[in-house]
Amino acid sequence: MTLMNCLILAFLLFGIGVWGLIHRRHLVGMLISMELMLNAANINFISFAYFTASDSTAGALFSIFVIAVTACEMAIALAIVVSMYRRYKSLDVEQLRDLHD
């Protein structure tokens, strides 16, 4: 397995995330696909760190931090989603149409 494979994998993961994001209408589903995208980035870091990078610790470190940060972000996101649910009694993004021109 080469760097290229990993990058392609990451890219595919990213693409899947994007696809899910567009395609899903359920908020939690969208959050999950967003996670996919973030982790694609992580894979990039790791693989660069493993194969090429002169300063390989940085990559690994970076990915760890990313995981942490993403966790907080998800926490907030879920909180908001919950409050959403309280208002709309559903998690369908199609309902988010009150704010528009």
Shortest Å, Cβ 15 to other proteins: 10
Smaller CB separation from other proteins, 2 or 98: 98
Residue-level length of the chain: 101
Give me the residues that bind other proteins (CB under 8 A), please: 10, 14, 17-18, 21-22, 25, 27, 30-31, 34, 37-38, 40-42, 44-45, 48-49, 52-55, 58-59, 61-62, 65-66, 69, 72-73, 76-77, 79-81, 83-84, 87, 93-94, 96-101
DSSP string, 23-62: H--BHHHHHHHHHHHHHHHHHHHHHHHHHT-SSHHHHHHH
Instruction: Give the rounded distance of the alpha carbon of 21 from its chain centre.
Output: 10
Neighbouring residues of 9: CB distance < 8 A, sequence distance ≥ 6: 43
In the complex, the smallest distance separating the C-beta of residue 18 from other proteins, rounded to whole angstroms, is 6
Closest contact distance (angstroms) between CB of 67 and other proteins is 11
